[in-house]
Amino acid sequence: MALNILFAAGPGEWEVWRPHLDTALRKAGLDVTLRPLPDLAPDEVDYILYAPDSSLQDFAPFTRLKAVLNLWAGVEDVITNPTLRVPLARMVDPGLERGMVEWVCTHVLRHHLGIDAHIRNPDHRWSPHVPPLATDRPVTMLGLGELGSAAARALSDFGFPVTGWSRSAKAIPGISCTHGQLGLVQALELAQIVVLLLPATARTENILNAETLAMLPKGAVILNPGRGTLIDDDALLAALDRGHIAHATLDTFRSEPLPADHPYWQHPQVTVTPHIASTTRPETASEVLAGNIARSEAGRPLLDLVDPAQGY
């Protein structure tokens, strides 16, 4: 019997994804009917390909649903939905990963090389200050999952000494891995540049707060492509104002789009990017989704399942 797969995402997404999904599902040897919301009756749907900006917010009518496959890496808006009673797989996509590696390396190198001083040089001063080599610039990665570990490896390949922090113990060649509360203190005390690639959960909320910001060396730089909830905004603004933190490059915020009157827009030591650090690429992600559904149909567990107890 053909599988019924419902595509439920924001406006305009269906047209972008459809050709890639059609090709990938065919290549995976699946006999499927793929339709956008609301073209399938809820009690006919086997799988939902889902983005949280979809108008679909109630999973209860989907009585024969086997799983929801998220189109985004961040799952905080789905795993907390009380009507979700089937397994949820998050997005792990090679295209998404490459995009995040590029964003992180770009912004680490911007601060490491002090490029801003040359771009903004209103007095046309000849100021040949030579930056240190990457080997003398410790970087800390908070979060060593799919994205954090890929970015950590890329930074290590540049020569940066990278310390990574995660919930469980890890061993990644070339990265000094830590975990636990003591590990967090060690990772922060060392860092000249800190990158946040943690998920938004109850345990990670305000992980950078007045106390943990004070653990960073004076002049440290913060990059947050993770989630806005990871940072206590008032504490960060205070640390920037007193010069303890030299710069923050922020891609994610508690409220998005960032409100026009938010102090981050005006702050000379803050760079705002509009949640573009990376995005799921339908070309590569469609193959991941089709492969995962094929696995499930072959009786094997879905890959990249979210643990509801951990929230990611």
Are 201 and 166 a contacting pair, CB within 8 Å? no
* Spatial distance between the Cα atoms of 54 and 200, rounded to a whole number of angstroms: 20
Out of 13, 46, 93, 146, the only residue in the binding site for ligand NDP (CB under 6 A) is 146
Stretch 277-296 residues interacting with ligand NDP (CB under 6 A): 277-278
Cα angle value 206/212/214 (rounded, 5°): 135
Only one residue has tokens 């806005």, namely: 228
Among positions 35, 275, 281, 295, the unique one binding ligand NDP when judged by CB under 6 A? 275
Residue type, 27: K
| Residue 33 C-beta: closest distance to ligand NDP, Å | 30
- x/- contact string, 212-231, with ligand NDP (CB under 6 A)? -------------xxx----
Which one, of 212, 258, 254, lies nearest residue 233 by Cα?
254
With CB under 6 A as the contact rule, the residue among 52, 161, 199, 282 that binds ligand NDP is: 199
Least separation in angstroms between residue 174's CB and ligand NDP is 16
Answer yes or no: 20 catalytic. Answer: no
User: Candidates 17-25, 31-39, 124-132, 146-154 — which segment interacts with ligand NDP by CB under 6 A?
Assistant: 146-154
What is the residue-wise DSSP string for 182-245? HHHHHHHHH-SEEEE-----TTTTTSB-HHHHHHSPTTEEEEE-S-GGGB-HHHHHHHHHTTSE
Cα–Cα distance, 182 to 172 (Å, whole number): 19
Letter for the amino acid at 118? H
Q: Are 78 and 52 in contact (CB under 8 A)?
A: yes
At position 150, the amino acid (one-letter code) is: A
Which x/- pattern over 4-43 shows residues binding ligand NDP (rule: CB under 6 A)?
----------------------------------------
Measured from the CB atom, the residue of 179 and 244 that comes closer to ligand NDP is 179
Answer for which of 54, 163, 212, 252 binds ligand NDP (CB under 6 A) is 252
107 is catalytic: no
Angle at which helix 282-297 crosses helix 13-27, to 10 degrees, equals: 50
Residue nearest to ligand NDP (CB): 145
Residues near ligand NDP (CB under 6 A), total: 28
CB of 128 to ligand NDP, least distance (A): 35
Q: Closer to ligand NDP at the Cβ: 117 or 202? A: 202
Where in the sequence numbering do the catalytic residues fall?
227, 275
Interface ranges with ligand NDP (CB under 6 A): 73-74, 96, 143-148, 166-168, 197-201, 203-204, 225-227, 251-252, 275, 277-278, 312
